[in-house]
């Protein structure tokens, strides 16, 4: 298998972690989707990462790739067999990914010259991130769908999101009054799969 993506993307890291957790051998191809010479559109017509080449098939969009890897039936299972329980996991995965999308938009807007930045856009994305983190905190505090004894795709997605927020210093005070998310992150960051996928500092 070949995983195409950027070392700093939380969505790519999610797939890297899943592959490592399942012990699946893969080749990582570092490709930025933001450059004119990027090869990412060859794998995903939307020009987004990650993409996974598996034999003659190419899969893109991290939830789809995660679902594909789960269908290979390689232990450990990272999705419940019960369909309703699986939907709840997928919903929280989608929430974590949505917060990640908002964080990326926020960062891209902040990279523009100050006089061109849209304050309404910055505020909108910060509000999305705050509301999303509050919702994840409530779920993590329950310890049922996420932050339980066994890990699943949603736990991985949430931890990758938090790692990205820390790495890019988006919402530096995200951990204030969110102890359950702090606990989840600390637990996940201790895993070998997370230690091996820490984004480069430079």
Question: Which segments of the chain belong to CATH 3.40.30.10?
Answer: 2-71
Residue 172 to residue 119: CA distance in whole angstroms: 19
Residue 202: pLDDT band (50, 70, 90) is: low
Residue 60 to residue 51: CA distance in whole angstroms: 4
At the second CATH level, the architecture of 2-71 is 3-Layer(aba) Sandwich (3.40)
Question: Which segments of the chain belong to CATH 1.20.1050.10?
Answer: 83-191
Mean pLDDT, rounded, for 118-140: 96
- Weakest mean pLDDT among 29-38, 45-54, 160-169: 29-38
Residue 39 to residue 25: CA distance in whole angstroms: 22
| Confidence (pLDDT) at 64 | 98
Place of tokens 């999305």: 128
The secondary structure of residue 34, as a DSSP letter, is: T
pLDDT of 149 over the 60 cut: yes
pLDDT of 68 over the 90 cut: yes
| Confidence (pLDDT) at 66 | 98
According to CATH, what is the number of the domain 83-191? 1.20.1050.10
pTM for the model: 0.96
Q: What is the CA radius of gyration of the chain?
A: 17
């Amino acid at each position: 298998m070949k995983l195409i993506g950027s070392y700093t993307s939380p969505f790519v890291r999610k797939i890297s972690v899943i592959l490592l957790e399942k012990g699946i051998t893969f080749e990582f191809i570092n490709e930025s989707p933001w450059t004119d010479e990027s090869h990412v559109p060859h794998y995903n017509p939307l020009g987004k990462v990650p993409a996974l080449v598996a034999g003659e098939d190419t899969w893109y969009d991290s939830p789809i790739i995660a679902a594909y890897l789960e269908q290979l039936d390689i232990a450990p299972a990272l999705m419940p067999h019960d369909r309703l329980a699986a939907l709840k996991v997928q919903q929280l995965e989608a929430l974590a990914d949505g917060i990640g999308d908002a964080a990326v938009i926020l960062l891209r807007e902040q990279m523009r010259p100050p006089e061109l930045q849209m304050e309404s856009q910055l505020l909108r994305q910060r509000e999305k991130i705050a509301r999303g983190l509050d919702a994840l905190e409530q779920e993590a505090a329950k310890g049922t769908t996420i932050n339980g004894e066994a890990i699943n795709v949603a736990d991985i997605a949430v931890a990758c999101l938090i790692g990205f927020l820390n790495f890019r210093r988006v919402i530096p005070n995200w951990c204030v009054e969110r102890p359950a998310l702090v606990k989840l992150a600390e637990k996940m960051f201790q895993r070998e799969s997370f230690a091996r996928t820490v984004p480069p500092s430079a």
